[in-house]
Amino acid sequence: MNTPLFHLSVGQASRLIQRREVSPVALVDAFLDRIAAVDDKVHSYLLVTADRARAQALQAERDIAAGRYRGPLHGIPYAVKDNYYTRGIRTTAASRLMLDFVPGHDATAVRKLDEAGGIMLGKLNTWEYGTGNGGVYFDLPFEPARNPWDLDRFTGGSSTGAGAAVAAGTAMIALGSDTTGSVRLPAAACGLQGMKPTYGRVSRHGILPNCYTMDTPGPLTWTVEDSAIVLGVIAGRDARDHATADRPVPDYLRSLDTGVAGMTIGVVRDLGADPGVMDEANTAAFADMVAVLRDAGARMIDVALPEPIAEYRSVTSVINWTESLSIHEGDFLRRAGDMGYALRDKLMSGAMTRAVDYVAAQRRRRELAHATDALVRSVDALVAPCAFRVAPPFSDEPAMRAYTRENACPPFNASGHPAMTVCTGHDAEGLPTNAQIVGRWFDEARVYQVARAYERATPWRDRRPSL
């Protein structure tokens, strides 16, 4: 086998483990060696749980040998953003306020991965509390994660380590959280497939909150199949999260390879943004994506969002600021000096927002959600831009803020629809380009179907960063 173990997909590794051609111990050791070799440059991890991972791998090997195979995640390494609770393991959210916090229970998503036989490698880098103002100010207790495609560039945020780890080959699966793009933007910057499921599809229990009414956990992976495998495990009703929907979780793999022939896919080109806001590489890659799906048999029709993207951004910003302040107000009043600037700046925006503005924003959000749903239901799926530019350099703070603030993520946080970032190629400097695929509420299966058809028709999964 020419592919290094740390560059296998989940699907590939799972099949090899099931056939006993690769052992969980060998797979975990390969990832731990990879972390040791490159993570001092990438900074994707805040904590590596090597001893725990090796013990879990040995147990997985014994269970599989005894015929107790649990499924496609048995023996597969994963890592989680450091805002996920992990029982007995430090959870810092990259904040000075939480450097000594050790939870007494696991997040529901972590528990489900462990029950499926997954093996946790450690806790991943993030913006402070998984939030901020879009900038990176080098004032947190940990070095920021760096983009494996160019170590002087931004990873997107806030699931910074999740994007960096999967791209660098230091994690096979990473769990992040998305409030206004925090799964999809790191996936875009780092050339990954990043799924924000329908709001309420995955439990938030045990994840440090940022914005109660928009926070959505989701996986970042190298392939679409990998994402479908993970979501099939972590999705579902949880009595400890009142927002989770009591709906059956389908087998996302069943329709994965059925293609897009006969589908009608809406193409969102005009986002109501300023002309030229998308860079040339992403503009060209998006046009090519539309052509690829058309050639695969889909009927591609131009559609438009019901309102300019700035309207969605305004609404989600007010909600995000206000709810974040409601969560962190006590620490903001008592310990603001221990917070990084990005978090303080966001909380100050929340402090300056009136209650009537928050109520108006929630009312407007409901209107936008229903109007957006009418659009999504008029087709089988949408394709739209996601991040408008390739990852900017750390030296350009305004460009980093623009990357985070000027993108097409907020409409589908406002509406709650599932949206998945996919890699659409690379620019002249080798930096990933991106787009997103959007589906009807709770129809992640259709999103995966479109994403997989595009992935199979393009060569982008064959190209990895050089580290």
What are the catalytic residues? 81, 158, 182
Find out whether 141 and 61 touch, Cβ atoms under 8 Å.
no
Query: Which of 464, 420, 389 has its CA nearest to residue 3?
Result: 464
Residue listed under structure tokens 């048999």: 297
Element of type H or E holding 46: strand 45-48
Find out whether 82 and 208 touch, Cβ atoms under 8 Å.
no
HSE-up (13 A, CA, CB side) for residue 300:
19
Query: Strand, helix or coil at 26?
Result: helix
Find out whether 444 and 201 touch, Cβ atoms under 8 Å.
yes
Distance CA(406)–CA(412), nearest Å, equals: 14
Q: For residue 326, say if its preceding peptide bond is cis, omega within 30 degrees of 0.
A: no
- CA-based end-to-end distance of the chain: 21
Query: Which of 69, 67, 73 has its CA nearest to residue 13?
Result: 73
Find out whether 442 and 452 touch, Cβ atoms under 8 Å.
no
Distance CA(11)–CA(173), nearest Å, equals: 11
Query: Which of 89, 104, 347 has its CA nearest to residue 210?
Result: 347
